Amino acid sequence: MKAADIRALSTEEIRARLEDAREEYFRLRFQFATGQLTDHSRLRQTRRDIARLATILRERELVAEIEGSEA
C-alpha cells in the first residue's frame, strides 16, 4: 500500500489496517517458522506496510498535539 493511499484514509481506518497488518505479520512469521511459507517476500512487504501505517498515524498524532498546544 502506498503512503498516498494511506493518507487518504481516516485515522480509524488506519488503526484498523495497522491491526490487521500486525495480525497478518504474526501469521506469516508462524508459517515461516513451521516451513509452510512459500512467498518469503510477503514478510518484508508486510513489515514495511506496518511501518508506513504507524508512521502516518504518528504524523497525525503529532499534528493534533501541535494544534492542541497552539489553541
DSSP state of 39: -
Give the model's pLDDT for residue 1: 81
pLDDT at 70: 81
Write out pLDDT tens, residues 40-62: 999 999 999 999 999 999 999 99
- Determine the Cα–Cα distance for residues 1 and 66; give it in Å rounded to an integer: 27
Give pLDDT, residue 28: 97
Helix (H, G, I), strand (E, B) or coil at 10: coil
Domain count, the chain: 1
Residue 71 has pLDDT above 70, yes or no: no
- For residue 7, pLDDT over 90 is answered with yes
Q: Write down the pLDDT at residue 37.
A: 94
Helix (H, G, I), strand (E, B) or coil at 12: helix
| Domain containing residue 65: CATH number | 1.10.287.310
Range of the domain at 25: 3-70
